[in-house]
Structure 1
Amino acid sequence: MLPVDARIRRSRDFSSALKRGRRAARGGVVVHWASGPPRREATQSPPRTTPSDAERHDPARAGFVVSKAVGNAVVRNKVKRRLRHAVAEQMPSWPAGTDVIVRATPKAAERDFGELSRDLAEAVARARGGRPRKGRRETDSGGGL
């Protein structure tokens, strides 16, 4: 099971990760990998002048999206449990401050735990690689050939 501080629960955190993250799909999952500067949680108290180590390095977090297209409630919950377990195994290798959204596709309902775990690992590796999406090429602005 994922620790409480390793879960994404707020809608704005999901939106932020989806907007700034790189996307990769494999088999039954689509992963949005959002690494970047440490996030700051909105708190009621002013920030401390000397943050502790825990505050300097936010843990990696994961959020899950399993729509009704995947199946009925029993199937969706089974898929979520499998994905949470797979993420818990892989999360220790993720850099601190990383937000990852894992979206299950309808194909996820047909896959066993080993296949889902492999799909997740491959999608994470692809998203971490930073390859640009199709149609997004860097252009030379120098006006050359």
Structure 2
Amino acid sequence: MVYVYEGQFEGPGAGRPSAAPVTVGGPRVGLVVSKAVGNAVTRHAVSRRLRHTAGRVLDDAEMAGTLRPDLSIVLRALPAAATATSGELERDVRHALRRLLG
């Protein structure tokens, strides 16, 4: 499942309790891999595949025009992600982003 949020986070702290500076810009990608996906080893493997997938999608020239710097993207792994290949995950992420941003 893919969620897209528009708008940059501004200023020091940007909604955080600490006053530490926050990286502004993007697009930024966050991952959510719950216990419903599997045990810790499975969740970690899914996280690695999703992180790799996000990097490939962000670096792709085809997606560069649609992925603006003010976007925050959240990739939420569903239980089926535990058995999906990296290729299937990438295809699903690309399809969802095209649908949401197209």
> Structure 2 length as normaliser, TM-score?
0.78
Q: Does 2:47 match 1:74?
A: no
Cα offset, 1:39, TM superposition: 2.3
Query: What amino acid maps onto 1:95 in structure 2?
Result: R
What do the CA deviations read for 1:10-46 (whole angstroms, capped 9, x no partner)?
xxxxxxxxxxxxxxxxxxxx0001123x32033459x
Which of 52, 62, 68 is matched with 1:95 structurally?
68
Looking at structure 1, the residues matched to 94 and 6 of structure 2 have their Cα atoms a distance apart, in angstroms, of: 16
Runs of 4+ in 1 over 4 A off after TM superposition: none
> Structure 1 length as normaliser, TM-score?
0.56
Q: Which residue of 1 aligns with 2:2?
A: 31
Instruction: Quote the RMSD (CA, aligned, Å).
Output: 2.0
Give ranges in structure 2 of 5+ residues lacking alignment: 14-18
Structure of greater relative contact order (alpha carbons < 8 Å, 6+ residues apart)? 2
Identical residues among aligned pairs (%) = 38
What do the CA deviations read for 1:60-89 (whole angstroms, capped 9, x no partner)?
101000000000011000000000001011
Q: Does 2:78 match 1:105?
A: yes
Secondary structure of 1:117's counterpart equals helix
Query: What amino acid maps onto 1:42 in structure 2?
Result: P
